[in-house]
Amino acid sequence: MASFWKRLRLTLEMIKFEHSVFALPFALTGALLAWRDAGFEVPNLLTRFGWIVLAMVSARSAAMAFNRILDADIDSRNGRTAMRHLPAGLLSEKFAWGFTIAASAVFVLAAAQLGPLCLLLSPAALAILFFYSFAKRFTMFSHLILGFCLGIAPAAAWIGMRGTLDARILWLTAAVMFWTAGFDVIYACQDYEFDSKEALFSIPKRVGIGRALLLARLLHLAMILCLGALVFAFHLGPLSWAGVAAVVILLVYEHGLVKPHDLSRVNAAFFTVNGYVSVLFFAFWAADILIHRKFI
């Protein structure tokens, strides 16, 4: 048992379990918007929130473990990633596969608790998440595919709350997709030379680091426009606009950290700033929604 728990801990390290914070706040925002749209009358509210969190975290965990398995050989040849758990031999591929299957099963179980449509869509959701891991082998648009993987979380949370999909929530799906694609382009700049040598596909490899950083800015501008459309679609209040403003400030700071000839602060831009983006966004929007409930 001690060996099992050690391997489980290493697996959680491998998939960066703590980075669930990137997409989880957006998923919870989708759930809160669905609750608001239902007139704050959703049965078993806290239980539903719990299943949504479990579904989100387990799906991401399965996808990340699968990605690490598929990329182990590539990671072993990249100086930046050679010490990841699988190429470094800290974990066995067999255990990683077992974790992937177990996390996928937990996701399907959680989806089943959220209703028949969630259960019906759960295999498709896993297929989309796993498909991303192949994308950089054939398309430079892998960043947008990753963005879509995270972007479906708020739409899925809406379905989990209401049992159906409302097209308005797709503005949040698009916002998360553009946000994720933007910061993933920044992150991929680190592997410009490696991707070129290995014949892998990425936007930095295709257009160069300078133009890639410009495209990342445009993707983040698209995110802000989608958030604005979402505010109007749901007739939200001033705190939601404050949340959008906080996101703008953080993204401007993020892009200020990274220069075409200085990528030394990519990790700060990628991990720290984007964690604040998702958490602060959720805090402002949750406050807006809860205040609306108080005064109806």
Is 7 within a domain? Answer: no
Segment-wise mean pLDDT, segments of 10 residues, the chain, 296 residues: 84 86 91 95 94 96 96 95 93 95 98 97 97 96 97 97 97 98 96 93 96 98 98 96 97 94 85 90 95 70
pTM to 2 decimals?
Answer: 0.95
Is 269 within a domain? Answer: yes
String of DSSP letters for the chain: -HHHHHHHHHHHHHTTGGGGGTTHHHHHHHHHHHHHHTTT--TTHHHHHHHHHHHHHHHHHHHHHHHHHHTHHHHHT-TTTTTSTTTTTSS-HHHHHHHHHHHHHHHHHHHHHT-HHHHHHHHHHHHHHHHHHHHTTT-TTHHHHHHHHHHHHHHHHHHHHHSS--GGGHHHHHHHHHHHHHHHHHHHGGGHHHHHHHT---HHHHH-HHHHHHHHHHHHHHHHHHHHHHHHHHT--HHHHHHHHHHHHHHHHHHHH-BTTB-TTHHIIIIIIHHHHHHHHHHHHHHHHHHHHHT-
The residue range of the domain holding 31 is 20-291
Is 280 within a domain? Answer: yes
Is 190 within a domain? Answer: yes
The whole-number pLDDT of residue 20 equals: 81
The CATH number of residue 123's host domain is 1.10.357.140
Is 218 within a domain? Answer: yes
| Structural domain total, the chain | 1
Is 13 within a domain? Answer: no
Is 9 within a domain? Answer: no
The whole-number pLDDT of residue 268 equals: 76
Is 103 within a domain? Answer: yes
The whole-number pLDDT of residue 295 equals: 62
